[in-house]
């Protein structure tokens, strides 16, 4: 078991793996501790939309070959409501920017395959100490034995329930829980659309997405206490067809291979640093999936942090590390605001007043009829440009 490294990374999700990859390219030693098995990490279903900035970073760091070969570029999304369909054209509204459909599972597999330094799977981080000094320590358990890993800094990419977020003294937490969830399914059927469909219906929100040209990913708004087993395949297909219906379009159906319910929550924990501990990804912030921001915020966080760590090691500069929390949070709050607006605009809220419901419908209509409002939606969906493209100096 390694006992010393330059940077300890807790968590082998997109944030931890991307940071490890970027630092590896720069010649900085890292050890990644992951509490789950490799099989679990590589099969964990999450996001499937990559912002332009995420695509650029993966390409620039040598991790984009399979993404470019198998990913599906999308130049827009479709918004449906009141039996109408409206397309938001990304390149026309954002100066040529777009998004890529490429599942998180595949990003994770690519980054693991490129990893040269250790990833300790099924290694549970137990606590972090010495954060105010120059050699913080992470105590972890692997194969029933406890070990200690000493490093120059620790980056917690271990999600909302990890030890990283709780290790910060007196964080400021901003949180909102939504009164509905998503029932998500994977189906072995070719997508019924060329681009994502976001549909608002009086029965609730629906989303048609895809993973590959032969696998569809679909979602339905459901109550928070929903049991996926209570929804038969036929019921799911019927409800999706009802909520997304427009003249001249039909929904293709096929075998559903998985079902799950995703709660809808917004959360930001500030700051993202205490001493030699840094937070990134879901350890620091959660967004509802409506705006496709979770994975992309994680990559933005660690791209910024990797650059700051590189400046620290190569030039002895600490200013970028000192600025990390504030710079990252500026992007986080922009994404949180967009995700909140998309979520409330597209979902029906059982507790809302009729007035509120009509306002949300008007916001949606404005988004597709006002060029300025369409541009704001498109710019936020494809993502703000990253603060400099990652390159190894």
b/e string for 55-73 if b means 16 or more Cβ within 10 A? bbbbebbebbeebeeebbe
Eight-class DSSP state of 386: P
Q: How far apart are CA 59 and CA 93, in angstroms?
A: 24
Q: How far apart are CA 117 and CA 9, in angstroms?
A: 12
| Active-site choice (198, 208, 285, 324) | 198
H or E segment to which residue 16 belongs: helix 14-25
| Active-site choice (136, 293, 324, 347) | 293
How do 197-200 and 145-150 pair as beta strands?
A: unpaired
Provide the 10 A C-beta neighbour count for residue 361.
15
Both tokens of residue 69? 């070969």
| Close Cβ partners of 264 (under 8 Å, ≥ 6 residues apart) | 177, 178, 180, 181, 182, 288, 289, 290, 343
Q: How far apart are CA 50 and CA 294, in angstroms?
A: 10
74 given a catalytic annotation: yes
* Residue 99, CA distances (Å) to 65, 96, 213, 225, 295 in order: 16, 10, 16, 33, 13
How do 119-121 and 30-34 pair as beta strands?
A: parallel
| Active-site choice (136, 178, 289, 324) | 289
| Active-site choice (74, 201, 285, 347) | 74
| Active-site choice (102, 178, 219, 381) | 381
208 given a catalytic annotation: no
Provide the 10 A C-beta neighbour count for residue 152.
18
Residue 364 near residue 79, CB atoms below 8 Å: yes
Q: How far apart are CA 365 and CA 368, in angstroms?
A: 5
198 given a catalytic annotation: yes
- Which positions are annotated as active-site residues? 74, 198, 289, 293, 381
């Amino acid at each position: 078991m390694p006992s010393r490294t330059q940077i300890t990374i807790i968590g082998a999700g997109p944030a931890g793996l991307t940071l490890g990859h970027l630092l590896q390219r720069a010649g900085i030693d890292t050890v990644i501790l992951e509490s789950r098995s490799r099989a679990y990490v590589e099969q964990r279903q999450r996001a499937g939309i990559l912002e332009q900035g995420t695509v650029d970073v993966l390409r620039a760091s040598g991790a984009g070959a399979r993404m470019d070969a198998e990913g599906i570029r999308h130049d827009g999304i479709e918004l449906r409501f009141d039996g109408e369909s409206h397309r938001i054209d990304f390149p026309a509204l954002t100066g040529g920017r777009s998004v890529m459909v490429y599942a998180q599972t595949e990003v994770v597999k690519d980054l693991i395959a490129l990893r040269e330094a250790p990833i300790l799977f099924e290694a549970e981080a137990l606590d972090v100490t010495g954060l105010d000094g120059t050699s913080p320590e992470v105590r972890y358990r692997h194969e029933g034995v406890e070990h200690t890993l000493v490093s120059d800094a620790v980056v917690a990419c271990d999600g909302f329930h990890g030890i990283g977020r709780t290790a910060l003294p007196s964080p400021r937490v901003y949180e909102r829980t939504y009164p509905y969830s998503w029932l998500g399914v994977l189906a072995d059927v070719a997508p019924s659309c060329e681009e994502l469909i976001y549909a608002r219906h009086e029965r609730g929100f629906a989303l048609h997405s895809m993973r590959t040209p032969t696998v569809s990913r679909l979602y339905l708004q459901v109550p928070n206490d929903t049991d996926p087993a209570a929804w038969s395949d036929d019921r799911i297909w019927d409800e999706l067809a009802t909520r997304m219906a427009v003249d001249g379009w039909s929904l293709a159906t096929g075998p559903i291979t998985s079902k799950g319910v995703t709660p809808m929550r917004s959360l930001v924990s500030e700051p993202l640093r205490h001493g030699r501990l840094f937070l990134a990804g879901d350890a620091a912030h959660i967004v509802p999936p409506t705006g496709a921001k979770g994975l992309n915020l994680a990559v933005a966080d660690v791209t910024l942090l990797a650059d700051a760590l590189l400046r620290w090691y190569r030039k002895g500069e600490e200013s970028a590390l000192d600025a990390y929390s504030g710079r990252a949070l500026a992007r986080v709050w922009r994404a949180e605001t967009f995700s909140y607006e998309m979520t409330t605009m597209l979902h029906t809220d059982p507790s809302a007043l009729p007035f509120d419901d009509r306002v949300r419908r008007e916001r949606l209509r404005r988004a597709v009829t006002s060029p300025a409002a369409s541009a704001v939606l498109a710019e936020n969906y494809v993502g703000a440009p990253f603060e400099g493209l990652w390159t190894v100096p």
